[in-house]
Structure 1
Amino acid sequence: MSKTLQGRRRVLPAVLGLVALMYSPKAALAQVAAGSIVESVVDPQGVRSSSVNRHDPTRLTLPRLIDLGRLDDAREKLREQFAIQGELPRLLFFEAMILYKERQYLQSIQRLARSLTLSDGDPDVYKLAGLNLVSLGRRDLAGPYFEAAVELAPRDFMARYYLGLHQLSDRRYDRAETILRDVINLRPDYLDAYILLGVAKEQRGKEEEAIRTYHQAIELAEQQHLKRATPFLYLARLLISLHRHEQSLAPLKRAVEIDSTSSEARTLLGQALTYLGRYDEALPVLMDAAALQPRDKTAHYLLMRVYKRLGKKSEAAREMQLFRELNESGTGNRSPDDPGRPYGRRSHVR
Structure 2
Amino acid sequence: MLVLSLCLILGAVPLLSETNSEETQTSVPASPEGELPPPPPRTDKSELSRRKYQILALNTETINLLRVNNLVRSLANIEKIKKLDPDCLEYHYLNGAYLYAIGRYPQSKKSLLKAIEIHPGHDPSYYLLGMIFVRRSKWESSVPYFQKAVELATYNPFYRLNLALAYFETGQYLRAKAEAEKAVELKPNFRNAKLVLLKSDFALGNKANALSLCKEFAKEGFLSKEFAYIYARLAMDIDKNFRKAIKLYNQFPDLPFNERRFLGHAYFHTGNFRAAANVYSGILGAKILSEEDKINYLRSLVFTKDYRRLETFVAGWILEEPDKKVKIQEALDIAELLKDNDPKVYHMLPSRSPY
Task: Say whether the fold is shared (TM-score over 0.5).
Answer: yes
Q: How does 1:1-350 map to 2 (within 5 A)?
A: 67=67, 74-86=70-82, 88-99=91-102, 102=103, 105-136=105-136, 138-220=138-220, 222=221, 226-240=222-236, 242=237, 246-257=240-251, 259-263=252-256, 266-274=260-268, 278-285=272-279, 306=297, 309-310=300-301, 311=307, 312-313=309-310, 316=313
Distance 1:315 1:305 in 2: 15
Change (3 A) 1:163 1:305: same
Report the residue type matching 2:184 in the other structure. Answer: I
The 3-state SS of whatever aligns with 1:254 is helix
Distance 2:316 2:139 in 1: 38
Deviation, 1:236, is 2.1
Distance 1:156 1:78 in 2: 25
Change (3 A) 1:284 1:84: farther
Distance 1:84 1:216 in 2: 50
Deviation, 1:239, is 4.4
- Which structure carries more helix by proportion? 2
Alignment deviations for residues 287-309 of structure 1 (CA, whole Å, 9 cap, x no partner): 7x76xxx9976589969963774
Between stretches 297-306 and 161-170, larger displacement belongs to 297-306
TM normalised by structure 1 equals 0.55
The 3-state SS of whatever aligns with 1:154 is coil
Report the residue type matching 1:231 in the other structure. Answer: F
Deviation, 1:208, is 1.1
Report the residue type matching 1:128 in the other structure. Answer: L
Deviation, 1:247, is 1.9
Change (3 A) 1:117 1:200: same
Report the residue type matching 2:276 in the other structure. Answer: A
Change (3 A) 1:268 1:105: farther
Report the residue type matching 2:228 in the other structure. Answer: F
Percent identity between the aligned chains? 18
Distance 1:125 1:200 in 2: 28
Q: Is the 8 A contact 1:89 1:115 kept in 2?
A: yes
Change (3 A) 1:171 1:261: closer
Distance 2:101 2:285 in 1: 34
Distance 1:134 1:295 in 2: 36
Q: CA RMSD in A?
A: 4.0
Distance 1:275 1:260 in 2: 21
Q: Is the 8 A contact 2:245 2:266 kept in 1?
A: no
Deviation, 1:207, is 1.9
Aligned length: 245
Distance 1:211 1:227 in 2: 14
Highest relative contact order (Cα 8 Å, sep 6+), 1 or 2? 1
Report the residue type matching 1:250 in the other structure. Answer: K
